[in-house]
A and B are shown apart, each in its own frame.
Chain A
Amino acid sequence: MQYAWMPAVLLALASRAVASQTITVPGNPSALIVTAAVIGAQPTPVSSSTNYSITTPNPAGRTYKVTAQLTAALPAGVSIVATATAPAGASSAGAITLSTTAQDLVTNLSRSLNYTGTITYQLVATVAAGVVSSQTRNVTLTILRFP
């Protein structure tokens, strides 16, 4: 039984893995439908807000960030802008136009953090977009170590 000590070591490693950062969302934002414009100007953007919750583990010297990306591109002339609030000590990247490339929403999240914030999604459409029938896009929010 020369490997008898191994299970304990592996379980210890597994326990450390479980204690990692997490991000959850309670649901989806309400539908974003552009319906109006100031005459002579581009259509008026519409917004919807939801919450997001994050926890970070305790290891010293670590910080984290939240990124967002679309899983599929948007129609031409249409964009979705995301803005996330940040806890004290962290930094919101402000209004980010989402794409299929992950972009930082919030950075410099501290360790041992338990925070619930707001993400506001804004739909922006130019007249060039034309009429766009109802459709959906998934936004993937990821929390990972930073930098």
Chain B
Amino acid sequence: MQEIEFNEDDVLTLASQGDRDAFGLLYERYVDRIFNYVYYRTGNLHDAEDLTARVFQRAMNHIKTYTDRGVPFSAWLYRIAHNLVANWHRDRSRRQEIPLDDLPVLQTKGDHPERNLVHSQEQDALLKLIRRLPGERQNLLILKFVEDMSNAEIGQIMGRSEGAVKSLYHRTLLALRDQLGDQNINLDGE
């Protein structure tokens, strides 16, 4: 999808005055990123779609309260997504449905986009390990690798300093290394 060029501050002002078309522009710009984030945090398309819709509905309902205090609009959106995903996990654990680890890591249906991903046991194992990490570490990895964000940008979203993000990232890699070692998963695929 082609990125629509516009001045985000102007569009945000219009959107906060109730202009739905302006909000539509923001939606077009961020829907892919939020969908990606939610998809990797939930592990299935249906919930990713539902939660993405809720993120934008909530953003639209509360955009009047959004004021730019050095936090970009994208960071605000990710925080909404983060809260909704956290609630989703909480509800899910209360209902004691199928444990997340038992779900197929990626479901492929017809022309769904994730079929582009290369399925391999190794990647599935890695994704399962990622999903067992604490929420903030999962966030960090998704924002870093899926969204290709810098530590500073991730820090704005997570409410941490750049150094704290760097340190958390290093600890996350170490944790993954240990877990891979515990499970005898050979990353070299040998």
Q: Do A and B bind each other?
A: no
A residues neighboring B (CB under 8 Å) = none
B residues neighboring A (CB under 8 Å) = none
